[in-house]
Structure 1
Amino acid sequence: MHGPAMAGWLLVALCGATVAYCLVRMRSCSGEARRAAGGEALMGFGMAAMAVPVAVLALPEWGWVVYAAVFGAAALRTLRPALRGGHHLHHLVGSLTMVYMAVVMRSGGGEHAGHSAAGVPLLTGALLVYYTVYVLRSGFRLMPVPSPAGGAATATLSWGGRPELALACRLSMGIAMLTMLLAL
């Protein structure tokens, strides 16, 4: 990632923690929830790897092609479920955003054919708006709501089965994606 090294390392730590939780969540759920957690773990791992400061690890020329291929395949895998709606649409947008960032980062600093180092400004702006709305919406969903009965829930959930932690992970990955787009 281009930009301050401290910001890159903080993103690596945030995404790494998110990956760890998504892997825990994968072990404790099944079916569609397990696939969603796996997709989020892949996204978090890719974001953590992409956020490593360039001064520490400069990818070879073909490294960005690997990123684009992996997340292009993830986008294709998510396409059919995304057309049915739900959270898969966000996974599709996330995978395509990772492909876009890999292509833009690969092209480096030069300007050519109307594209700047920041990619297509309109597309970058649209993705910034999307992730800003996503982060704000996710943050509001995490706000506590008083229960109608007035009492606390007595059920104890495992770490992987806590919906608020899954939402917090999605929020943190949205914040990380927003930060990476800003640094683009």
Structure 2
Amino acid sequence: MFAIDIDPTKVKLAEDAGMVGMNAAENAEERILLETGGLVWMFEAAGGNQSHGTEGSDPLDQAYRYIRPSGKIVQVEYISSEIELDPRDMRSKYARWVNPLLGAVSETPNKDRGELAVDMVESDRVSIQELVTHELEGLDSFEEAIDITLNSEEYDGLGPDRLSLTINARIQQRES
């Protein structure tokens, strides 16, 4: 499994978790294509403001280039801007682009994604401890938590702060 990022801290975390970490700026595409012939699945987790989906240097475009014909791109984060897609490029690769669903989406008959994420963290099936950069207590720290989330780089946050805020809120909700 490959993990590609421009942040060396995130690349190191991926390597510590047993993945092949690569810096996106250092010919990751060439290495992936050489070693795999193209990925079957690509999870694009940068989101944010991107302008291109099939050309340029945006993370979604990179994901498109890394997949093999009939590959799938799973968009994990939300893209906050309009993007350009060339339908001919998508069709020539028979690529499938899977977007996240908004809101509380049921994953099992009795659990939405948030509840399932809490269960996975509580049961140690998924560890987020190595991603925790800040721990805040109580509702009085809510504004600080939002500031950290919106300005992760200024606070040396790793990015999954929204996830841990949600998980912690759900765990606290269960306990009360």
> TM-score of the superposition, structure 2-length normalised?
0.30
Query: Which structure has more RCO (C-alpha within 8 Å, separation ≥ 6)?
Result: 1
Which structure shows the higher helix fraction? Answer: 1
The structure with the largest strand share of the pair is 2
